[in-house]
Structure formats: structure tokens, C-alpha cells
Amino acid sequence: MATFSFFSSGPGDARGRRSKGCLTCRKRKVKCDERRPTCERCEKGYHHCLGYDQPLIFVNKGVGVAPPPQGPRNRKLSPDTGSSGSASDSETSFAIITRPSSSVGYVKPMLKLDGFKDDIVISHLITKLAAVGHQFSKGTDAPTLAGVLTASNGKSVAYIAGLSLAEAFFGRIHRVQGMLDHSAALYGRALRSLREDLVLLDRGAGLSRAYVNLWSTIFLGMYEMVSNCGSSNWLEHSRGVSALTHALGPHAFQNPSANTILSFNRSYMAIGHIAQRKRCFLGEPEWQTIPWALQETERPIGSKIIDVLCEIPGLMAERDMLAGRAAKVNDVEAAMEALQDRVLDAIRRLGEYRWQWEAAYPRASREKLVNMATSVSLDEHGRPLFDTVLDFDDMERAIDVVYFNTIRLMLYGLSDDTGLSELLMASSGGGCLYQGPSSNALLLPGQGTNVSNALEICRTVDYFMQHSRDSQGTLVLLFPLRVAYGHLRRVPLVSPWIRRILVDLSTSKGFQIGEHILNMGMQTTDSP
């Protein structure tokens, strides 16, 4: 099986130069004003300016292929029929280089892939995030992620925003600086256009435009998580996603395509509210029932678990109010008792959902020994941190378990903050008595402590990072590991390991926010 790598041609390229103009003007054979990062001529003519990227060469590293030769000769590879390349330093080009078994050295490139760059990076993004689905569902204007990123939507704000994310994601994983620079230009263009679209939305634009603007905001928020241009920029976009979602109302998300958009972003919006410690509208009853009211199949248990996550910001906000404004509350004791009841109710319902999960997915998880050759669950001396790690039947079940433990940990913190004893909280296991042994190698409601729940999150890291959908796994792990870290600060070896893992997630999986998430001041009811 052939693999592919990318080489960027630098300023020392020996090829002749035809123009310093942008790629779009060169393809259109018109004079470019050479404004950067995108030219004014393209902008005024409503053309998609491809910018001034460094060339990229797509090289097949199949069995028996020698390393690419060094020096200027390597840079002469081109899809032209001539002996030297014709692409300029500013052109982005892809070439597949093959080597027949009967020949010695490299042969000329056979296929030029310049025109497929967008398709390549978008396909990479969708594949790694497993964000696929039907483009539209009957009776709705709500496109899925894959639907928004089709070439037919190439002039839309959402497509440009998605392309900026796709290029940043691809460029960071493969360390292609030119692509990262171009993604930043696309981001700026999409942000400006989105602001204009939101003005139109305020003037009564249609539902279809509202859904597309929602996707645009989602893409821009994910771009910030990839590039981490500012530690709080992702939070600004989270606020934008929340505002647009709330403005649409719960009935707008009943169709399967629209419901997918909501499900895709509920945890993102809830985490944004947790970071701000402000009540989230997603915790209100109508937002936990109406969007699923027309579905013929039973709602997934994992979705119900996220319901509890969406309620936590409100519990945190109420706790802060009682702590900071006690003198202005007529009956602080009664208000605290009401808050305690809400916390216990959240614990009870979370326990019920976990028992339902146990019954619905027997033997969905198992323990396995640490594989020293592939595991990332090793200390700085290369020794296993855990006796065993956790394996799962599929990604969805692993996500369910990680979020259950994360929410459980935050409820531990809230129970301490509101004066509930750990014993009382442990007794609220969803109304069921433990009658083990469990068919899954997992803690059940009422079992374990905050430390053991946090360690269970850590024992899923191998599964997420070695899965084919590892980038989706990275997005899932970032917040749970942040919460787990707050409860494992005093556990030797494990807390520094979490720091290393978050840095590794940022460098190898494309989300640079991992390097800084422990220092963002996200108050997530950490253990002292």
C-alpha cells in the first residue's frame, strides 16, 4: 500500500518564473495587482483568490521507492512534458511521482493535482472527523457538514470558512507552512463575509441562510481550536454558535439534518457556557425534548447524557450567585437546599442513563494489557502508567463513557461546593442497586471516587488516539482530560503525563489548543 508525503519547494527553486501574481489571476491569464494575502482584482470580481502558496508536491512512497533526491534537481519535478518545471514559486501544485519496478530513479510526474487541492484537504477533514452524511433531508434547508463543503457551494461563506479549517487542519498535521498561511487568509475573508451575512439575517433572511451561517460559525470556531490564534477566540465563536442556535429555536432542529447540526455542537456550546459559568439554554426542558419529538427511533442514551452536561453551567452559575451575593438573597439556606436538590436530581438522572447504557450495550468495553510498542499510556521512563487500558466496540460507546465520567466529576465538584457529602452523592446511583459483576469493565453509578473516575478517562486515551477517527477522538478528549487533570493533580506520574498527552494531541492530531487548554482558566469545578 502506497503512502504519501508532502514536500514544499522553497525560494531557491531553479525553475523560471512567469509571474508573481496570485494563482487565480494566472489561471485566468489576467494581470494581478499582487495585493496580499488575497488580491484586490479577485475580490472585486468575486473570484476565489487562491493566494500565493508555496508549491506542494505529492510523492508516492510505495515499496521500493528511493528517497527523493536533494537539491535543485528535485524541485524540477513538474507535470509538464518539458525537462524543467513551469510552475512558479508562488503556485500550489501537487504531483504524483511513481517509480516502475523495472526502472532506476524517478520518472516524470503523471498527474497534476493543482485543481484537486481543495477536494483533498476537505476530504481529509471529513474523513478524520467522520463527519459524513446526506447532504440534505427532505423538507429542510439544513445542510450537513459534507453537504456544505461540496464544490457546488464554493462561493458560499460556509464553504470558505470550511476550507480555511480544512487547510489549517491539513497544514498543521503535515507541517505545510504555506497552507497554514493561506488558511489564515481564508479565515479573515470568511469572518468578514459572515459579519455581512449576519446583518442580512437580522433583516429577515431565510431559514436556509441561517443554517449556513451556523455552519460558518462552527467552522471558524474549529479553526481557532486548530490554529489557537488566541486562547479565548474559540470561546467567542462558541458564543456565536449558541446565539444563532438559540435564535432559530428548538423546533428548527426537528428534521434529521438540522438535528445533526444540533447534536454535533451541543457539547461544544455547553463547554463554552461552562468556561463562562453562565446558564445554558440547552439545559431548558424544551431544548431537551422538542428537537427529538418527531423522531421515529428512540433517542440515543449518549444524547441524554449530554442533557446533564448542558444543565451543569446553570448549576455552576447558581452556586456562584449564592456564594457571591449571599447578602442579597432573602433566604440563603432555602436557596442552597433547592440547589442541592437540583444537583442530586442531576446525579440521579445521570445514574439512570448509565444503567440504561449498561443494559443496552453489554460487553461493549473490555480491559486489555498495555501494548508497549504502540501505547501512549507510558510514563517518561517508558513504563506503563496503568495495569490495563480500555477498549471499546466502537467510537460512540467510548464517547458515552468518557462524557459520563466527565459529568460525574463535575457533579462531584458541585456536591462539594454545595455542602453535599460524598457518601450522600454516592448513594444517588440512579435508583438501582449494584448487582454485579458488570459485563463491561467500567465503574458503575455509585462506584469509585473522583480519582478513579478521572483515571477511567485516562485509560481511554490509547483507544481514542489509535482509532482511525483519531481526530474526532482528540476533540472528544480535550475537555475530559482538562477536567480529569483537576482531580489528579496530586497523583504522581499521571498529572505530568496528561500535560504531555495534551501537547501530543496538538502536534500529531492537528488541534493546537491542546497545548494551552490547562492554562485557559476554565473553572470546571476542579478538585482542590
Q: Is 449 helix (H, G, I), strand (E, B) or coil?
A: coil
Q: What is the dihedral of CA 403, 495, 525, 460, to 10 degrees?
A: 0
pLDDT in the model for residue 116: 80
Query: Judging by DSSP bridges, how do beta strands 365-369 and 56-60 pair with one another?
Result: unpaired
* 247 secondary structure, DSSP code: H
Rounded mean pLDDT, 475-497: 93
Rounded mean pLDDT, 479-496: 94
C-alpha to C-alpha distance for 93 and 50, rounded to whole angstroms: 12
Average pLDDT over all residues of the chain: 79
C-alpha to C-alpha distance for 38 and 158, rounded to whole angstroms: 18
pLDDT in the model for residue 209: 83
Task: Look at residues 433, 419, 408, 406 and name the one whose alpha carbon lies nearest to residue 349.
Answer: 408
pLDDT band at 325 (very low <50, low <70, confident <90, very high): low
pLDDT band at 38 (very low <50, low <70, confident <90, very high): confident
C-alpha to C-alpha distance for 51 and 47, rounded to whole angstroms: 11
Q: Do 203 and 188 meet the contact criterion of CB atoms below 8 Å apart?
A: no
CB count within 10 Å of CB 325 equals 10
pLDDT in the model for residue 24: 81
pLDDT in the model for residue 73: 37
Residue with cell 459529568: 407
CB count within 10 Å of CB 334 equals 10
* pTM of the predicted structure, to 2 decimals: 0.76
For 137-196, how does the pLDDT look when each residue is reduced to its tens digit (9 = 90+)? 444 567 877 788 887 777 889 999 999 999 999 999 988 899 999 999 999 999 999 988
pLDDT in the model for residue 145: 78
* 300 secondary structure, DSSP code: P
pLDDT in the model for residue 349: 95
Helices and strands (DSSP H and E) totals, the chain: 17, 4
C-alpha to C-alpha distance for 239 and 245, rounded to whole angstroms: 10
pLDDT in the model for residue 231: 59
pLDDT in the model for residue 101: 42
> Strand pairing partners for 60?
4
Q: Is 97 helix (H, G, I), strand (E, B) or coil?
A: strand
Task: Check pLDDT > 70 for residue 211.
Answer: yes
C-alpha to C-alpha distance for 328 and 315, rounded to whole angstroms: 19
Query: Judging by DSSP bridges, how do beta strands 4-8 and 56-60 pair with one another?
Result: antiparallel
Rounded mean pLDDT, 119-146: 70
Residue type, 5: S
Q: Do 160 and 193 meet the contact criterion of CB atoms below 8 Å apart?
A: yes
pLDDT in the model for residue 232: 74
User: Which helix (H) or strand (E) segment is 322 a member of?
Assistant: helix 301-324
Question: Above pLDDT 90, what percent of the chain?
Answer: 44
Q: How many residues does the chain have?
A: 528
Rounded mean pLDDT, 302-308: 97
Task: Check pLDDT > 90 for residue 361.
Answer: yes
Residue with cell 509571474: 19
Task: Look at residues 299, 258, 303, 269 and name the one whose alpha carbon lies nearest to residue 144.
Answer: 258
Question: Above pLDDT 70, what percent of the chain?
Answer: 74
For 66-122, how does the pLDDT look when each residue is reduced to its tens digit (9 = 90+)? 444 444 433 333 333 333 333 333 334 444 333 344 444 444 554 555 568 888 999
- Positive or negative, the Cα torsion across 469, 475, 481, 483? negative
Give me the phi and psi of 139, to 5 degrees please: 80, 20
Identify which has the larger pLDDT, 33 or 327. Answer: 33
CB count within 10 Å of CB 375 equals 19
pLDDT in the model for residue 468: 84
